[in-house]
Amino acid sequence: MFRAWSLRQRLTVVVGLVILVVCAVIAVTVAVASRSVLIERVDEDLLALASRPLPRPGPGDPPPGDDSFQPFGLVVFNTDGEVLVDQPGGFASDPEPLPDLGGLTLDDLREGGFVTLDAAGGDGSVRVLIRTTPGGFEMLTRSLDSVDTSARQTVAISLVVGLVAALVGVAAASLELRRGFRPIDDMIETAGAIADGDLNRRTDLVESDTELGRLATALDHMLEQIETADRERLREAERLRRFADDASHELRTPIAAIAGYAELFEAGGIGPGAGLDRAMTRIREASDRAGRLIEDLLALARLDREIGISRSELDIGALVTDIAEEARMSSSRDIRSDVPGPVLVDGDSVWLRQAIDNLVSNAVANAPERSPIELLVRAEGDHALVLVVDHGPGIPEAERERVFDRFARPDSARDRSHGGAGLGLAIVREVVLSHEGDVSIRETPGGGATVQMRLPLAPSPSRSV
């Protein structure tokens, strides 16, 4: 049954029980200590009475009158331990009990001193002082009824006080636990609401100085992180869905062209000669386009899995110079390079070459044929800057971030006249990010687009000092 109670109820009951037990222990301790003190006082009284010349009845003396008072009880023994006198203390009309002498031996009498014996009749106890006298032994007695009554009263009062303290403690603990457990109640309610689908629910506790308050604050922060991660997961799932749709759409066009020409040839619609040559040219263009798309998709997949990045120190300036020369020879365009000298970075030459090639190809495809394309390399602080500058139509500012998304094209290049699938700049961004760099686009003065790759310089002794 106790386990079925709530934690708050169990803590309240435990607090009450602990207070009650502590008060009971205190009561017993106080009673024992006070009884010991009172017995010591009785012993002192007996010693004082024993030293005074008080009248002591002897054998054969008549009993005292009803109104007489004896300050102590007296039992006189001969040398053999036989009782000669047994005179109780107190008033004669209401005498104090004498001790039960049944278990008393002659050796006990010879040993003497203070002893506590049961009262004759078994009700209460008697404190006795045994002394040796010339004619035998003398026992002075004093009833401990008042001492026992005082001890019982002390225990009773302490228990009542303890019970009251326990009730007050239970009430105070219940109020404090209710206030202290309020954050837990809020967290339970919040967790239930989130489990029901309300991901925006928070505890929103203002108090955060207690442990539970800090826990609630940490829970809210964790929920924010979970909600952010969930939104990012949904966005990523949406991006993957669009990516799959765009990839299938891009592949469908060249594959459909190849299949269409093949079906036309099988149906006899294309005969030998110029028509067949034109069809084969279209098939080759479609297959090349599908091949480039597949290669780009594989490149992105490798970059996503961080496969193929093998860094070493390389001169990005020399790499840009080689790329500019090769692009100038293959496209017959005015492609210029401006490299002031060696600029060393820690990177993968294959992937960086592909990224810069993609930027140059993008500039060649979009810039006017007679306009120059410039490749610049600069060292700025701890980074190397690679800039590809064209003087074409440029990219609207609202679309400069989106062009790095996969299968994204700015509005000025949506006609697909150049055969691009919108993966070149996406590959550039993934390559640069894998090198702990960044890439951005800004407008070229006078018109056009300038793409800037920013890569960390390779560590060197001169810069590490």
Q: How many domains, the chain? A: 2
Tell me the C-alpha distance between 441 and 448, whole Å: 10
Output the domain CATH number for residue 282. Answer: 1.10.287
Identify the CATH number of the domain in which residue 441 sits: 3.30.565.10
Has residue 32 been placed in a domain? no
Whether residue 268 is predicted with pLDDT greater than 80 in this model: the reply is no
Over residues 26-65, the pLDDT tens digits come to 888 888 888 888 888 888 888 888 787 766 666 666 665 5
Render the burial of 42-67: b for 16+ CB within 10 Å, e for the rest: beebbeebeeeeeeeeeeeeeebeee
Residue 40 CA to residue 388 CA, distance in Å, equals: 107
pTM: 0.45
**What pLDDT, in 10s, does the model give residues 385-404?**
999 999 888 888 878 777 87
How many Å from the N-terminal Cα to the C-terminal Cα in the chain? Answer: 72
List the Cα angle 19/24/25 in 5-degree steps: 100
pLDDT at 464: 36
Same domain, residue pair 346 and 378: yes
Q: Are residues 329 and 455 in the same domain?
A: yes
Q: What Å distances lie between residue 438 and 26, 265, 459, CA to CA?
A: 74, 49, 18
DSSP state of 310: -
C-alpha span between 124 and 111 (Å, rounded):
24
What average pLDDT score do residues 371-380 get? Answer: 92
Provide the token pair at 226: 């979970």
pLDDT recorded at residue 414: 35
Whether the pLDDT of residue 454 is over 90: the answer is: yes
The whole domain housing 223 covers: 212-292
Where a domain ends, among 233, 260, 292?
292
Lowest mean per-residue pLDDT among 112-116, 130-134, 287-291, 446-450: 287-291
Residue 88 resides in a domain: no
Same domain, 424 and 331: yes
Q: Which amino acid is at 314?
A: L
Distance, in Å, from the CA atom of 377 to the CA atom of 317, rounded to the nearest integer, reads: 6
297-326 CB burial, b ≥16 within 10 A, e <16: bebbeebeeeeeeeeeebbbbbbbbebbee
Does residue 243 have a pLDDT over 70? Answer: no
Q: Of 292, 320, 341, which residue constitutes the final position of a domain?
A: 292
Residues 334 and 448 in one domain: yes
Q: For 119, which DSSP code?
A: B
Average pLDDT over residues 355-379: 89
Does the residue 206 lie in any domain? Answer: no
Give the sign of the dihedral formed by CA 286, CA 399, CA 371, CA 415.
positive
Burial of residue 422 (CB within 10 Å: 0-12, 13-18, 19+) is: buried
Q: Are strands 90-91 and 94-95 parallel, antiparallel or unpaired?
A: antiparallel
Residue 81 lies in a domain: no
Same domain, 250 and 341: no
Q: What is the pLDDT of residues 94-153, one digit of tens each?
A: 788 888 888 888 888 888 899 888 888 777 888 999 988 888 888 888 888 888 888 888
What value does the mean pLDDT take over residues 323-340? Answer: 87
Instruction: Tell me how far apart the alpha carbons of residues 18 and 185 are, in angstroms, rounded to a whole number.
Output: 26
**404 within a domain of the structure (yes/no):** yes
pLDDT at 339 over 70: yes
Say if residue 315 is in the same domain as residue 280. Answer: no
Give yes or no: residues 340 and 438 share one domain: yes
Same domain, 354 and 386: yes
Residues 245 and 336 in one domain: no
Task: Return d(Cα 10, Cα 178) in angstroms, integer.
Answer: 13
